[in-house]
Amino acid sequence: MHLSRMGHRRVTLVAWMFAFAIATERSVEAIEPSPSQPTPVANFLANYCLDCHNAESEEGDREFDSFELPLTSEQLVIAADEMIDQVTLNVMPPEDSEQPSDEERLAFVGELRDQIQQARDLFASTGGRTVMRRLSNREYEVTLATLFGRRVDTLGLTADFPKETTIHHVDTIGESLVTSGFLLDQYFQAASRLVEARLGSPATKPQSWHFTDNFRQYEELSGPHRKAFKYGFLCLYEQPNTDTRQGGYGHIEDFLRGVPVSGLYDIEVLAQAMHRDTHYDPEIFRIDFTEPFQLAVVPGDVTKGHIHYPQAIEPVLGSTIVPDEKQEWLRFRVWLEAGQTPRFIFPNGPYESRASVLKVNERYEDELSQGNKGVDRTQILLEGALPHIKIDEIKINGPIEERGGSNEEKAVFGDDGFQPDLALEQLQEFARKAFRRPLDQTDQDRIEAIYTRRIAENAKPRQAALDTVKMILCSPSFLYLSEITPEDESELRPFDLASRLSYTLWAAPPDDVLFNSAETGRLTDTDELKLQIERLLDDTRSREFVVGFLDSWLNLRDIGNLPPPRDSVNEYYAENLPEAMKEETRLFFRNLLDENGSVTDFLDADYTYVDKKLAKLYGLPEQDTLRLADGFQRVSLAGNHQRGGVLGMASVLTVSANGVDTSPVTRGVWVLENVLGVTPPPPPDEVPSIDANVSGATTIREKLAIHSEDKACYVCHRNMDPLGFALETFDPIGRWRTEYARPKWEKNKPAALVDPSGKLPSGETFEDFDSFKFVLLEHRRDLFTRHLIEKLLTYSSGRLMERADQYEIDDILARVKADDYGLQTLVVEVMTSQIFRSR
């Protein structure tokens, strides 16, 4: 009986070899042989397993001669657990072997389950605890935004931090969140930048700037703009971040130095949308002319890179619609950091300006007075109908004074602002929020020592306070989710529990209500804990949980890491599909969370959430009725066999492909790991690559069939490939297809048809994507639900689950099933579990 990896207890191949090696070494010498009739387990192993997995053959590096009951080691429990999975799923014995009767299977599984239950108390936890972990980069920025009362992404504080390491895509696991000397230096620089930019700037009276000319544009735009407009207009011709990058970013040449201090600034722009009604073929521009043009503002910094090109720090600060009929003053109030200058972008603009000009010149040259003289952007600007946004004047005023003081001032020093006489009290209160717990005497002494030392060094009181704030933000008590629960206690004390809860659901420190619940000790009461969980979930800040958990579970953060070629999938870029893809999945998850909908909807559902762009990608009828302004809407998928559940979402289908083509192996592994919770072992070194010895094969299915004739390949591919075949009806960005795209060199050959049918090792068959989802729903729902529970426990506790955790996971699963598989029930059960509440 080969225990392949279809089971829901995650055990690597190496762990398996270790488990059975231990079992062999011990030979269960301490177990007295039963003088009675052989047990169902012994009979089953003898009749169906030992021919292949005996001490001599050890097929698949597994030997069952020494496996006996009772279960006297954790390794034997793991082995028994996997046996149950394999037999329950009809994966083992293999279909070409003699098969046991249903009665034999039931007796075998029943006895093993009884033995595992008896072993539950015997094998207590090995002490699995969350390694004291630092804040992830994501949590770090959200925490600072919370503490300072304003977004901090305009500063790019983590832009130079080392790339975050994840384990199984999860970014909250303590052992992966290591700290280096370089990172500590980055923390200090980030804290200094933030504090000085937001609190250290001198009081500055508002200034006004008015720009009416010298709107220079660079490179190939410069000459035509000088000739046609004498630099009198700032024009946007394409969306940002294209290949050629011409006309995607409009800057103010006379304001390259940027604003003098960080603050709020009012920006007024006299603008008009030009030629949205152009008679040119809309295919030239690859945009939807039924939608009004959009204008947005992003920051730019001439010291950080070319002002005409994309930069590392450019969050959208504001956006609006541009009128067609006449010029209008458009207004934005935005936050700019000192030295940043506003740049204007055209988010839904033409895909590529250079290509547009070439095609217009080629197809409409007869309309131009200098026709047939080659490409001339100047003539097109003067005489043609090139769609663009034209800006005539720009006004900037600021920094705008905030009533009652800035958000940062009030967040750090209170509503009355910094007061020298109360400096230590104010700093200690800020430290309490930053450390997420009451301060002890050591904390208070350290804060006082830093502040008084800076005063002794002739720093002014306010500067001494700011320097103290910087040190608070570099303290381990801030950077780490430190536990004040004593080492000899396994259950988290209230303040540690409050932090774990708030960082799971908000990626931020506890608010006053949660802090008060911890301070009074009520939070450790299960009923109170449930109330707080539900309150935090109801808050809009729980979007951080939706985003963070989906990035960890479905690996959505990696969308875009392997983008498709621009020339073949331009809509992926032109319509910013990656963001739309992720938002669909987030809204779907959010709905299930709010409504306590069944997690089985993740496997199949008759509804989803789309905007106009996704409706077009999916070929839904709503593409003809939705407008961009409508945003995302819930739509029915009743009768639609091409979508439904996360496996029909473009986000999952894109992240499980490589951008260029699809592979049943890659997508099959993705489904195994992320839907069923099984991590297949890597192929042995001696296994040939998938392209070896596949001459004569014409389709990926044929190639895999030849490849899997190698017995070493077949063992794993029979588990992975069918799961991937079911998704072959989707291309690399999730568009439906019935045939494969022909390579250019084979354009005269007939296209290969997609075959999405398959057969699982457990015997279930499916003909297409729709019937595949039915198989998962009918035969794998508990496996999937269990994996979702385990993934959420890992994400929220900051550690991987161990064997001893599986008993409580079983209990959680039973309660979730009893409540119709509700997602909110699952979340609450996880976060009131002993695993979540323990160190």
What pLDDT digit, counting tens, does each position of 533-553 carry? 999 999 999 999 999 999 999
Residue 149: how many CB atoms within 10 A of its CB?
14
Q: What type of residue is 275?
A: H
Closest CA to 79 of 68, 94, 93, 89: 68
What's the pLDDT at 701? 66
What's the pLDDT at 714? 54
Q: Which residue has the higher pLDDT, 446 or 563?
A: 446
- In 164-236 the beta strands, taken as DSSP E runs, fall at 207-211, 234-236
What's the pLDDT at 36? 56
Q: What is the mean pLDDT of residues 283-296?
A: 93
Q: Give the span between the Cα atoms of 548 and 609, in whole angstroms.
A: 19
What's the pLDDT at 741? 80
Indicate whether 234 pLDDT > 50. Answer: yes
In this structure, are residues 235 and 250 in contact, taking their beta carbons and an 8 Å threshold? yes
Indicate whether 696 pLDDT > 50. Answer: no
What's the pLDDT at 661? 82
- Domain assignment present for residue 267? The answer is yes
Shared domain for 624 and 691, answered yes or no, is yes
The strand order across the sheet containing 294-300 reads: 318-321, 294-300, 341-345
Q: What is the mean pLDDT of residues 102-114?
A: 81
Between 108-117, 303-312, 437-446, 614-623, the lowest mean confidence (pLDDT) is in 108-117
Shared domain for 361 and 441, answered yes or no, is no
Q: Helices (H) and strands (E) in the chain — how many of each?
A: 29, 12
Indicate whether 511 pLDDT > 90. Answer: yes
Indicate whether 504 pLDDT > 70. Answer: yes
- Domain assignment present for residue 2? The answer is no
Shared domain for 770 and 623, answered yes or no, is yes
Q: Report residue 193 as tokens.
A: 């930048």
Between 63-77, 643-657, 721-735, the lowest mean confidence (pLDDT) is in 63-77
- Domain assignment present for residue 77? The answer is yes
In this structure, are residues 155 and 194 in contact, taking their beta carbons and an 8 Å threshold? yes
Q: Report residue 61 as tokens.
A: 């590096």
Shared domain for 351 and 373, answered yes or no, is yes
What's the pLDDT at 653? 96
What's the pLDDT at 193? 96
Please state, in angstroms and as integers, the Cα–Cα distance from residue 113 to each residue in 77, 119, 721, 815, 818, following that order: 10, 10, 30, 19, 20
Q: Name residues whose C-beta falls within 8 Å of residue 279's C-beta, 6 or more positions apart in sequence.
A: 385
State the number of CA atoms in the 13 A half-sphere of 52 facing the CB: 15
Q: What is the mean pLDDT of residues 292-307?
A: 95
What's the pLDDT at 23? 34
| Tens of pLDDT, residues 151-174 | 999 999 999 999 888 999 999 998
The fraction of the chain above a pLDDT of 70, given in percent, is 87
What's the pLDDT at 120? 62
Indicate whether 52 pLDDT > 90. Answer: no
Closest CA to 72 of 108, 30, 41: 30
Domain boundary among 353, 368, 398: 398
- Residues pairing with 263 in the sheet: 336
- Quote the domain boundaries for residue 361: 207-398
Q: Give the span between the Cα atoms of 350 and 237, in whole angstroms.
A: 7
Q: What is the mean pLDDT of residues 598-617?
A: 97
Domain boundary among 119, 151, 185: 119
- Domain assignment present for residue 520? The answer is no
Between 152-166, 710-724, 739-753, the lowest mean confidence (pLDDT) is in 710-724
Give the total number of structural domains in the chain: 5
Shared domain for 38 and 168, answered yes or no, is no
What's the pLDDT at 662? 85
What's the pLDDT at 66? 74
Between 52-66, 103-117, 157-171, 247-261, the lowest mean confidence (pLDDT) is in 52-66
* CATH number of the domain to which 324 belongs: 2.60.120.260
Q: Give the span between the Cα atoms of 242 and 246, in whole angstroms.
A: 8
Question: Alpha-carbon torsion 460, 466, 470, 472, what sign?
Answer: positive
Report residue 64's pLDDT band, with 50, 70 and 90 as the boundaries. Answer: confident
Shared domain for 224 and 349, answered yes or no, is yes
Please state, in angstroms and as integers, the Cα–Cα distance from residue 750 to each residue in 696, 698, 739, 742, following that order: 16, 12, 10, 8
Shared domain for 272 and 307, answered yes or no, is yes
Report residue 225's pLDDT band, with 50, 70 and 90 as the boundaries. Answer: very high
Helix (H, G, I), strand (E, B) or coil at 67: coil
Q: Which residue has the higher pLDDT, 25 or 273?
A: 273
The fraction of the chain above a pLDDT of 90, given in percent, is 62
- Domain assignment present for residue 487? The answer is no
Strands 328-336 and 263-274: antiparallel
Q: What is the mean pLDDT of residues 689-700?
A: 48
Between 185-194, 393-402, 528-537, 732-741, the lowest mean confidence (pLDDT) is in 732-741
Report residue 179's pLDDT band, with 50, 70 and 90 as the boundaries. Answer: confident
Q: Name residues whose C-beta falls within 8 Å of residue 527's C-beta, 6 or more positions apart in sequence.
A: none
- Domain assignment present for residue 689? The answer is yes
Shared domain for 168 and 300, answered yes or no, is no
Q: Which residue has the higher pLDDT, 120 or 573?
A: 573
What's the pLDDT at 13? 31
Between 72-76, 109-113, 414-418, 527-531, the lowest mean confidence (pLDDT) is in 72-76
| Tens of pLDDT, residues 754-805 | 999 998 888 899 999 999 999 999 999 999 999 999 999 999 999 999 888 9
- Domain assignment present for residue 89? The answer is yes
Q: Give the span between the Cα atoms of 25 and 271, in whole angstroms.
A: 80
Shared domain for 115 and 184, answered yes or no, is no
What's the pLDDT at 284? 92
Q: Give the span between the Cα atoms of 557 and 563, in whole angstroms.
A: 13
| Tens of pLDDT, residues 612-671 | 999 999 999 999 999 999 999 999 999 999 999 999 999 999 999 988 888 888 899 999
Shared domain for 647 and 775, answered yes or no, is yes
In this structure, are residues 238 and 346 in contact, taking their beta carbons and an 8 Å threshold? yes
Report the chain's mean pLDDT, rounded to a whole number.
Answer: 87
Helix (H, G, I), strand (E, B) or coil at 769: helix
Question: Alpha-carbon torsion 343, 344, 346, 352, what sign?
Answer: negative
Q: Is 186 exposed, middle or buried (0-12, 13-18, 19+ CB in 10 A)?
A: middle
Shared domain for 679 and 811, answered yes or no, is no
Q: What φ, ψ does residue 805 adopt, rounded to 5°?
A: -75, -20
Q: Name residues whose C-beta falls within 8 Å of residue 282's C-beta, 6 or more positions apart in sequence.
A: 289
- Domain assignment present for residue 507? The answer is no
Shared domain for 256 and 382, answered yes or no, is yes
Report residue 748's pLDDT band, with 50, 70 and 90 as the boundaries. Answer: confident
Please state, in angstroms and as integers, the Cα–Cα distance from residue 295 to each residue in 376, 396, 401, 575, following that order: 26, 16, 26, 15
| Tens of pLDDT, residues 347-387 | 999 988 888 999 998 899 888 886 556 678 898 999 999 99
Indicate whether 42 pLDDT > 70. Answer: yes
